[in-house]
Amino acid sequence: MKLRLPQSLAARLALILLVGLVLAYGLSFSSQFYERYQTGRNVMLNNLSTDVSTAVALLDRLPAEERAGWLPLVERRNYRYLLDQPILGEPMDMKQPPAAALTIAQTVAKRFEPVFQTMPGSRPHFQVHMTLSDGKSLTLDVTPGAIPVAQWLPLVLILQLLVLLGCTWLAVHMAIRPLTRLAQAVDQLDPDAPSPSLDEKGPSEVVYAARAFNTLQSRIATFLKERMQLLAAISHDLQTPITRMKLRVEQMNGSQEKDKLWSDLSEMQHLVREGVAYARSMDSAAEPECRIDLDAFLDSLVCDYQDSGQAVSLNGSTAAVINTRPHALRRILTNLTDNALKFGGSAELTVQNTESGIQLQVLDHGPGIPEAELEQVLQPFYRVESSRNRETGGTGLGLAIAQQLSQALGGKLTLNNRIEGGLCVTVEFPR
């Protein structure tokens, strides 16, 4: 199976730090525990050697009738002494004896000639059979046990692991927080509604990144503002010579060339006006927000079209009172409705509440847009020649302005072709 790393950078850093700390802590604990085990083992074997040699020498010198009374006094937690005990176990393999058996053998082998037996049972143990000076038998029954562990040690281990987890979380949080703030600032970057500058505090690397982002944000806003000002200025200045040219054309004698020239000038003037409108849409944040009754607003818009004889209808209601920029919202819906009337002959405006906010849709019965060009038509001055040609008088700015204003109002504009034919433009606004 392929090992999969976590998707987020915070999880990956936490995993790396935690694994590294746990491994380092495990190696340190293992070395200390092994050293403690060796020390404890040596101490226990030394104590065993001293205690067994003393107890066997004492019992050997006592009269036979007094030995039974001394047995409880020399008994220990892991071994005890027995008198006249028969040999019942299996001979021990002395090539690989337990450490305790080897220590006992080295302690009593010179005088008492011990015989080691492995005893069967649920708990493994062994016996050492010795012959005292008076010929009586003495048996040492040994049940090896593990080196005792302090009761507080597991609690300390758990506490140390919790400290490691806390330190790992704190380190990852401190390392990721500036990156998260930078990512959020980039995601909220909007030249039409400048975001607050990042706080230039913290470590030097964080301060440098925050200062670079603030500079970038300022440069982008300045560049776009100058670009829109240039477009607005050019479009505005072109209106004067176009108007003079139209006045001169009016003074010409009637002819087919005059009509063609007048048509071209009218198209140029319309294009210039749309350019000015697009430039102004980039500065839509200048319009103050106000509360409006959305249903009444939409009904007024549709009634204006119906009064002029246009086939525009409204379906649905929301009963919502919202904060918005009414002129920008009207411009969005007007552009979309005009497009629907121009290319489909009629427009159907629908409104409904959704889980995330309010959804507005403008539907038409026109030729639609090729799927490959649904994203491109939102670009300024882009036109679909096959279905929406120049004879309609379109400039390629209607949808671009609608999208720009939708983003300025915090909404999202999407295009989809209807199954039954025509185009569906959806604008979703958060509640």
- The DSSP-derived string for 83-118 is ES----SEEP-TTS--HHHHHHHHHHHHHH--EEEE
pTM above 0.85, yes or no: no
DSSP state string for 259-323: HHHHHHHHHHHHHHHHHHHHHHHTTGGGSPPEEEEHHHHHHHHHHHHHHTT--EEEE-----EEE
pLDDT per residue rounded down to tens, the chain (431 residues): 556 767 776 777 777 888 888 888 788 878 877 887 788 788 888 888 888 888 888 888 888 888 888 888 888 888 889 888 887 778 888 788 888 888 888 888 767 878 888 887 777 788 888 888 888 888 888 887 766 666 777 788 788 888 888 888 888 877 777 777 777 777 776 655 566 777 777 777 777 888 887 888 788 777 777 776 776 677 767 777 878 887 887 777 777 787 788 887 877 777 777 666 666 665 555 578 889 998 999 999 999 989 888 999 999 888 888 888 888 888 889 989 988 898 888 899 999 988 888 999 999 988 888 888 888 888 776 776 544 444 554 566 778 888 888 888 888 899 999 888 889 999 998 87
What's residue 350's pLDDT?
92
**Which element (helix H / strand E) includes 213?**
helix 204-250
| Residue 336 and residue 371 in contact, taking contact as beta carbons nearer than 8 Å | no
The answer to whether 171 and 16 are in contact (CB under 8 A) is no
Count of CB atoms situated within 10 Å of the CB of 305: 19
What's the pLDDT at 277? Answer: 66
Name the percent of the chain in helix, strand, coil, to the closest 5. 55, 15, 30
Distance CA 404, CA 413 (A): 9
Tokens of 115: 């015989």
Residue 160's CB: how many other CB atoms inside 10 A?
A: 12
Q: Do 405 and 282 contact (CB within 8 A), yes or no?
A: no
Distance CA 10, CA 256 (A): 72
